[in-house]
């Protein structure tokens, strides 16, 4: 460690629990800068040879990453094959070699020139698919230039060492690669607790801190880093004493996680006999095993839009079906709640022409997009219906704003059913269809919606965003993101009451459901089911098993008499510490 570098502590937003200690790794998206420079005549062939070596090394790396993937039909495998084909393209090789020889340029400058020319050409192409190839070219260009400079290329799947990734932001495409990677944790400048980067980190159990604002500026390459995902701290160039202190904390965290795993198999029954279902939120089928190990009673939210990421084409009915079937079969008789696509907002798909909107969170996203693109929507619904014969499937719509929109979505389900019938394809005719309640208008007309569906699922991430007018991915207003705001508690109470009056169960699948601090309040509000990232299940279960439902209900009645989130937060923390002294809130 460089003794001259002083330890610095940065405070961000805690996104995913756990302690990571290791070397930092700066994940840079910019192309490395090549400066125009020439070499003497005698050195020209050395530059040509250096370029050939960098190209060969790049091919080797891409092939090695690709060959670790078992499923050759998977998109990631296909993308890496495209990269390999681009690296093998003789035009790239010949043009660069010629540019080096004719101008006596250094290899990086010559390659940079050829690359920029090609990128300009791709940039001018109208066809979105071909324009996407430009992005592939940029990525492999980045890799070759990094190899020429003798550095590690820049992608999560290429990282082989256990490191803490430091980045301005991670795209959903980056986070999908975390699953099989060796990274210990990550820290980003932007993001909030409910941004998808944070949600994915929690699902995968990778410690993360987001919204650090200037971590990429503060981080000096290659230094050691400590990341505390629970406190939301990142410590750069820590002293040896601090490293020792955090190594102890990491040990204690692992012990706590092991202790909690004992709760996984136990049912979620309160001391006075009320049973709740604790479900998992998943983004990828691969998460099913973690969810089952954590004691999930099923899947309460399967975010299917992740099927659109990291790929160049649209998934067809067959692919949807096979993917859902994998999850449904894993859970056997336990329910799997498949949410129809929630694209748009902070979730995007490069192959769909989602308009550049001034205000994407309020734009053409989720069910609105699906009702505009009915073929894409119906494709998915048919696949969900087909998967329903393999277990217990429930389907739900995101971002329902009122009854008319729900009717329109139901009409598409009816059409899909009729089509399957004509094709004589079996499906579960009694499959439950529910609505997410995550727009204030839906909460207000929950009594009307309750007559039309088999269940509700409250999406607090969006409900809070829209009710309190706070952009959920904006770190500058995250302090206003208050699940305990009296308005939010009243909305939740209203939704639960409306659901129960109509005789349907009410679930919650927003991040609030997985925060142990809120478990007692949610029990008191009468929720039937809580769906969360798998790693949160054992802790929430431990709290609920020690709770008394009717006392929680009384306590919530008192909480609702207070008028600010601050007051409610203080009273709740005190209560939780008294009731559950062994827990940490
Ligand atoms: C929510 O809004 O609370 C929710 C669960 O959906 P998402 O986070 O995917 O928007
Ligand atoms: Mg939502």
Q: Which atom of ligand 1 is least distant from the CA of 459? A: 3
Query: How would you class 184 by CB atoms within 10 Å of its CB: exposed for 0-12, middle for 13-18, buried for 19 or more?
Result: buried
Q: Is 300 in the pocket of ligand 1 (CB under 6 A)?
A: no
| Burial 38-75, CB ≥16 within 10 A → b, else e | ebeeeebeebbebbeebbebbbebbeebbeeeeeeeeb
Q: Which long-range contacts (CB under 8 A, 24 or more apart) does 39-47 make?
A: 39/104, 39/105, 39/106, 40/104, 41/104, 44/100, 44/101, 44/104, 47/100, 47/105, 47/106, 47/107, 47/110
For 394, residues 6+ apart whose C-beta sits below 8 A from its C-beta are 335, 336, 337, 338, 431, 432, 433, 434, 454, 455
Mean pLDDT in residue range 178-184: 85
Q: Is 195 in the pocket of ligand 1 (CB under 6 A)?
A: no
Distance 22 CA to ligand 1 centre (A): 32
Mean pLDDT in residue range 364-387: 94
Q: Closest Cα partner for 199 from 345, 393, 326, 21?
A: 345
- Mean of the per-residue pLDDT values of the chain: 88
Q: Closest Cα partner for 178 from 365, 340, 25?
A: 25
The ligand with the least distance to the CA atom of 283 is 1
Q: Is 192 in the pocket of ligand 1 (CB under 6 A)?
A: no
CB 245 within 8 A of CB 20: no
What is the second-level CATH architecture of the domain 8-29+155-255? 3-Layer(bba) Sandwich (3.50)
CATH number of 42-148: 1.10.274.10
Q: Is 349 in the pocket of ligand 1 (CB under 6 A)?
A: no
As a whole number of angstroms, the distance between CA 62 and CA 427 comes to: 41
Distance 462 CA to ligand 1 centre (A): 6
pTM for the model: 0.71
As a whole number of angstroms, the distance between CA 93 and CA 86 comes to: 10
Q: How far is CA 400 from CA 99, 404, 406, 445, 469, in A?
A: 57, 9, 6, 11, 18
Q: Closest Cα partner for 458 from 477, 483, 486?
A: 483
Distance 442 CA to ligand 2 centre (A): 13
Active site annotation includes 500: no
Q: Is 342 in the pocket of ligand 1 (CB under 6 A)?
A: yes
Q: Closest Cα partner for 523 from 505, 500, 538, 543?
A: 543
In the numeric block, the tokens 């995550």 are attached to 438
320-349 pLDDT, tens digit each: 999 999 999 999 999 999 999 998 766 655
Q: Which segments of 319-464 are extended strands (E)?
A: 335-339, 392-397, 432-437, 455-458
Tell how many helices (H) and how many strands (E) occur in the chain: 22, 16
Q: Is 461 in the pocket of ligand 1 (CB under 6 A)?
A: yes
Tell me which fold the domain 265-579 belongs to. Answer: TIM Barrel (3.20.20)
Query: How would you class 169 by CB atoms within 10 Å of its CB: exposed for 0-12, middle for 13-18, buried for 19 or more?
Result: middle
Which of 142, 168, 196, 320 does the annotation list as catalytic? 196
Distance 331 CA to ligand 2 centre (A): 24
Angle formed at CA 55 by CA 54 and CA 58, multiple of 5 degrees: 85
What pairs with residue 288 in β-bridges? Answer: none
- Tokens describing residue 471: 């952009």
Distance 176 CA to ligand 1 centre (A): 18
473 secondary structure, DSSP code: T
Distance 464 CA to ligand 2 centre (A): 10
- Domain ranges, ordered by start, for the chain: 8-29+155-255, 42-148, 265-579
Distance 438 CA to ligand 2 centre (A): 6
Residue 352 vs residue 248, higher pLDDT? 248
Q: Closest Cα partner for 178 from 33, 316, 306?
A: 306
Q: What are the DSSP calls for 235-279, one per residue?
A: EES--HHHHHHHHHHHHHHHHHHHHHHTTTTS--B-TTS-B-EEE
The ligand with the least distance to the CA atom of 481 is 1
Residue 422 vs residue 258, higher pLDDT? 422
Give the CA count within 13 Å in the CB-facing half-sphere of 159: 26
Query: How would you class 369 by CB atoms within 10 Å of its CB: exposed for 0-12, middle for 13-18, buried for 19 or more?
Result: buried
Determine the pLDDT at residue 1.
45
As a whole number of angstroms, the distance between CA 16 and CA 486 comes to: 26
Q: Which atom of ligand 1 is least distant from the CA of 199? A: 8
| Residue 195 confidence class, pLDDT cut points 50, 70, 90 | confident
The ligand with the least distance to the CA atom of 457 is 1
Q: What are the DSSP calls for 20-75, one per residue?
A: EEEEEEE---SPPP----B--GGGHHHHHHHHHHHHHHHHHHHHHHHHT-S-TTSH
CB 23 within 8 A of CB 225: yes
Determine the pLDDT at residue 2.
47
Q: Is 301 in the pocket of ligand 1 (CB under 6 A)?
A: yes
Residue 380 vs residue 82, higher pLDDT? 380
Active site annotation includes 370: no
Mean pLDDT in residue range 77-94: 78
Nearest CA owner, ligand 1 atom 4 = 459
Q: Which atom of ligand 1 is least distant from the CA of 462? A: 2
CB 84 within 8 A of CB 78: no
Mutate to test the pocket of ligand 1, among 303, 309, 458, 512 (most ligand atoms within 8 A of CB): 303
225-234 pLDDT, tens digit each: 999 999 999 9
Has residue 80 got a pLDDT over 80?
no
465-512 pLDDT, tens digit each: 999 999 887 878 888 899 999 999 999 999 999 999 999 999 999 999
CB 169 within 8 A of CB 190: yes
Q: Closest Cα partner for 97 from 83, 114, 84?
A: 114
pLDDT above 70: percentage of residues in the chain: 89
Q: Is 460 in the pocket of ligand 1 (CB under 6 A)?
A: yes
The ligand with the least distance to the CA atom of 463 is 1
As a whole number of angstroms, the distance between CA 82 and CA 113 comes to: 22
CB 340 within 8 A of CB 381: yes
- Tokens describing residue 205: 């159990």
């Amino acid at each position: 460690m460089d003794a001259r570098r002083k330890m610095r502590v940065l405070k961000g937003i805690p996104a995913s629990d756990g302690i990571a200690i290791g070397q930092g790794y700066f994940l840079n998206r910019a192309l490395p800068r090549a400066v125009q420079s020439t070499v003497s005549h005698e050195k020209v062939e050395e530059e040509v040879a250096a370029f050939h070596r960098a190209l060969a090394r790049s091919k080797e790396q891409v092939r090695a990453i690709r060959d670790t993937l078992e499923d050759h039909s998977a998109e990631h495998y296909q993308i890496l094959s495209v990269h390999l084909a681009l690296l093998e393209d003789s035009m790239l090789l010949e043009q660069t070699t010629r540019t080096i020889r004719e101008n006596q340029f250094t290899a990086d400058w010559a390659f940079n020139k050829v690359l920029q020319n090609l990128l300009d050409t791709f940039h001018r192409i109208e066809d979105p698919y071909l324009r996407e190839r430009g992005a592939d070219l940029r990525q492999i260009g980045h890799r070759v230039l990094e190899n020429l400079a003798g550095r590690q290329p820049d992608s999560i799947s290429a990282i082989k060492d256990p490191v803490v990734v430091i980045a301005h932001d991670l795209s959903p495409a980056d986070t999908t690669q975390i699953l099989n990677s060796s990274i210990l944790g990550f820290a980003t400048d932007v993001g909030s607790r409910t941004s998808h980067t944070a949600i994915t980190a929690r699902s995968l159990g990778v410690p993360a801190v987001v919204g650090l604002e200037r971590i990429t500026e503060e981080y000096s390459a290659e230094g050691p880093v400590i990341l505390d995902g629970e406190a939301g701290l990142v410590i750069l160039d820590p002293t040896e004493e601090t490293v020792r202190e955090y190594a102890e904390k990491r040990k204690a965290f692992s012990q706590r996680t092991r202790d909690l795993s004992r709760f996984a198999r136990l049912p979620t029954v309160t001391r006075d006999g009320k049973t709740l279902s604790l479900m998992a939120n998943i983004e990828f089928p691969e998460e099913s095993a973690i969810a089952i190990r954590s004691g999930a009673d099923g899947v309460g939210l399967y975010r299917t839009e992740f099927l659109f990421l990291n790929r160049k084409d649209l998934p067809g009915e067959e692919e949807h079906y096979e993917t859902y079937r994998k999850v449904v079969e894993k859970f056997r008789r336990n329910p799997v709640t498949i949410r129809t696509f929630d694209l748009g907002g902070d979730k995007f798909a490069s192959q769909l022409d989602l308009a550049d909107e001034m205000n994407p969170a309020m734009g053409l996203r989720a069910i609105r997009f699906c009702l505009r693109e009915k073929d894409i929507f119906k494709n998915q619904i048919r696949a969900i219906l087909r998967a329903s014969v393999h277990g217990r499937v429930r389907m739900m719509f995101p971002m329902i704003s009122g009854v008319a929109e729900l009717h329109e979505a139901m009409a598409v389900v009816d059409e899909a059913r009729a089509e399957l019938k004509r094709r004589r394809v079996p499906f579960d005719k009694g499959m439950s269809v529910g609505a997410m309640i995550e727009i204030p208008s839906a909460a207000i007309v929950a009594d009307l919606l309750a007559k039309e569906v088999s269940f509700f699922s409250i999406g607090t991430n969006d409900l809070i965003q829209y009710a309190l007018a706070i952009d959920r991915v904006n770190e500058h207003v995250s302090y206003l993101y208050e699940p305990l705001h009296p308005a939010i508690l009243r909305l939740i109470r209203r939704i639960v009451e409306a659901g129960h009056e109509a005789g349907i169960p009410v679930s919650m699948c927003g991040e609030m459901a997985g925060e142990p601090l809120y478990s007692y309040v949610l029990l008191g509000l009468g929720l039937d089911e809580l769906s969360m990232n798998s790693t949160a299940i054992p802790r929430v279960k431990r709290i609920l098993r020690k709770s008394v439902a009717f006392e929680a209900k009384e306590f919530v009645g008192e909480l609702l008499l207070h008028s600010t989130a601050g007051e409610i937060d203080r009273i709740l923390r005190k209560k939780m510490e008294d009731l559950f002294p062994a827990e940490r809130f």
